[in-house]
Amino acid sequence: MKKLKNEKELVKKALVEGVAYAEKRGVVEFEPTDSASEKIEYIYRLLVHDKVLQSLPEDQVSQQTMKHKLAIWASKL
């Protein structure tokens, strides 16, 4: 997995866009106390469920790989 040039900024963008996507869809309402890691996992799984992202093999799913997939998604927005 090759790290993207500005991956941290893309992860932040993916969080903002992913939260907006999930709330617009009406499936979740995030609280200010929700951690970034919970949001990342929820957004990743929602986008995989909606077939926006291709899923990773379950043994390869980790915070780092989910962040990477979301950063790639954000870079294409």
Residue 2 has pLDDT above 80, yes or no: no
The per-residue pLDDT for range 23-72, each reduced to its tens digit, is 999 888 888 899 999 999 999 999 999 999 999 898 999 999 999 999 99
Domain definitions of the chain by residue range = 9-75
DSSP 62: -
More confident residue, 4 or 21: 21
Rounded to whole angstroms, the Cα distance separating 30 from 51 reads: 21
CB 2 within 8 A of CB 64: no
More confident residue, 66 or 5: 66
How much is the pLDDT for 64? 92
* CATH class of residue range 9-75: mainly alpha
> What pTM was estimated for this model as a whole?
0.89
